[in-house]
Amino acid sequence: MTDVATPRRAGPEDVPGIAAVLNGWIDKTDWMPRIYSADEIEGFIGAALPHRIIWVVGDPIEGYLSFDPKTAKIGALYCSRTGAGCGKALMEAAKAGRDFLWLHTNPPNSRAQAFYRREGFVPVGSEIPPEPPETVPELRMEWRR
């Protein structure tokens, strides 16, 4: 594992880099259809920034985690390189000072599920059907200290 920068809070200037990480993941993931344009995704991230805690790592940005402190939901965790410690560093930032987190992942994303299990998350309930315009089901996972 290489050294990973300490996560820092994202600002408006980070939105294009955050969007680039997510758009890159969508483009290289064959089971994830692109239902929003790259510009729309950048707009969604910019709109979420005032309402979420978003951490980033790297310069340029290599990964980000979006967290809603009101609901304890991790809404997004994406890294441009896997196995480099990016996800772990971001997850540690989200866990700090908290006793409960939850997230949705996609059943075809076995790498993410394995990572979340290593981080102590467990699946809860059954597969959640997609709500249009989404087309891929989700799985809820929870972590408790």
Domain containing 123 equals 8-144
Q: Domain with 85 in it: what CATH number?
A: 3.40.630.30
- Which DSSP helix (H) or strand (E) runs through 91? helix 86-95
Does residue 3 fall inside a structural domain? no
Are 46 and 15 contacting, i.e. CB atoms less than 8 angstroms apart?
A: yes
As for how many domains the chain has, the answer is 1
- The pTM (predicted TM-score) of the whole model is 0.93
pLDDT tens digit at each of 145 positions of the chain: 446 789 999 999 999 999 999 999 999 999 999 999 999 999 999 999 999 999 999 999 999 999 999 999 999 999 998 888 999 999 999 999 999 999 999 999 999 999 999 999 999 999 999 999 999 999 999 999 9
Does residue 54 fall inside a structural domain? yes
- DSSP labels for 9-64? E--GGGHHHHHHHHHHHHHH-TTS---S-HHHHHHHHHHHTTTSEEEEETTTT-EE
Does residue 115 fall inside a structural domain? yes
DSSP letter, residue 141: E
